[in-house]
Structure 1
Amino acid sequence: MLYARLAGADESPNVDAALGDDRPARTVAGALNILLLGSDSRAGKNGDYGQDLGGARSDTAMLVHLARGRSKAVVVSVPRDTMVDRPNCPLPGGGSTRAAEPVMFNTAYTVGGLICAAKTVEHLAGVRVDHVLDVDFTGFKKVVDAVDGVRITLDKPLHDPYSHLDLDSGTQRLNGEQALGLVRTRHGVGDGSDLGRIRLQQQFMTALVTELKDASLLTDPLKLYKLVNAVGGAITADEQLNSPGALLALALSLGRLNPGDIDFRTLPVVPYPRDHDRVVAKQPEAALLWQAVRDDTAPPARQEQAQHG
């Protein structure tokens, strides 16, 4: 059954129940905020990508803001090496993690999983997280292969043995393995920092949305059902989103959304003074971006990001 494939047994947390009432309020009725995480677990089939060191981190973190009416969306990438104040987080078996500051953003997932990642984003942004979705390496490949690959155009060749990446320049269709190498690479692009990788991830996400739109996957319930059935067991969703009905309803609500309607942003950052291999949110630019998300309004004008690493 599709439901069993989606459920994933005990891995689906209830965000509202876990985080309680001491959190940002919902500010605009009908708008929705989804924390999309790409975890770097090496457990199980993910062991092909390195040794399992006893814990996963959020290799990728994007806060997806779906505007009221679903005519626009803003996607804010949070660099994994952003230094943040991590709040204490509830643990599934009881008790809680300790608050810590300053620490890298991606440690939140390591110490407390999806719930701690969501609480840390809420603490950082002042934005309420309605849902969480987590896709690991194997799950990501399944998503790409389920849509028969994603067509993307590269300005220059990308080669990175660390992420199994070997791509020529030009337009090409990437399978799941190639796409995973693309979104993971740091050594193959720019200055090797997380900011260069985020730019590639956002380019890929735009291409993926284009693929879904061109194939009518967001407007044809039967096609969408088959896609969800193919990838459902490869993702972990929060309890409220972890059913075929909820996922299908969410996806179908995005049918009018075109790739040009999605504004991809990166949290404005500057080098962290104590360690220039890390970054910290740049103010007031970061606060203004989060305010736009809270108010469901257009984000402020783009600015160049500082390089680091």
Structure 2
Amino acid sequence: MKFKNQTIVSGFLLLGLTDDPELQPFNFCLFLLISLVTILGNLLIILAISSHSHLHTPMYFFLSSLSFTDICTSATTIPKMLMNIQIQDQSITYIGCLTQSTSVFTFGGFESCLLAVMAYDCYVAICQPLRYQVILTPDLCVLLVLLSLLTSTGHALLQSLMALRLSFCTNVEIPHFFCELAQIVNLACSDTFINTLLIYSAANIFFGVPIVGIIFSYTKIVFSVFRMPSAGGRYKAFSTCGSHLSVVSLFYGPGFGVYLSSAITDSSIKNAVASVMYIVIPQMMNPFICSLRNREIKTALKHILTGKPFIFFCR
């Protein structure tokens, strides 16, 4: 069989979530709405935190970083899907596909690391409250965020560089609504052992390690909370990290579901639909979770939307 290098092949075809043309207008409207809600909701969170000095604390700094990541993830995947539906063209260039997969890898890994950092923030706030300002200094907070971003970006670039060495045959159809690196590797005709190894390594590093850190932090938090003498103190401690636990569950839960479904079923379309649950829905829901469970954020948002004075409540 004669291999064609991807520099000769014009690009890939994103098959999307369905091949039924009657459902395409519905998909366009649905994902356009999801994209607008995601961007607007996360922008409001960032604006509320940045415009109120009382919210310039480590917890809200990490939260605004998470909102920024959610905006970037949504802007990476959904617009190309909407454009393809609108112009009825499923094609994406080779460079565009690699750029999209690199961005998804970058922001997915960044968000996973951020959730681990936020778990550490909860641990310090509950288990060592008197040393909170001493431990989580502004410099350390910025360093943790930058380190998370640089690490995920470096690994994503490594994945893309290794993908450049692959050769592809005539089949360039990706059964997905965005360029997932695993799907690109599956289309390759050349040896993909190293690429597959890197993908599994990324899963262990950027999802396994943060999960272990989150579990460790919350184990310490639970033991510390149960030692509190008052029920009110225990309730306040749990409510402090309630929104973070919800975000963690929404981010990792569907991801594990997609992994299990891909192992059980060979349906690429079902896997693509399931992928919406971890690459689209969490980014849309995070602003609602953070605002509905956080009194300070709700008050700041009311101040922005209505112009009423901002009243700060201590954490």
Compute the TM-score of the two structures, normalised by the length of structure 2.
0.24
Asked which structure has the greater RCO (Cα within 8 Å, sep 6+), the reply is 2
- Which one has a larger percent strand, Structure 1 or Structure 2? 1
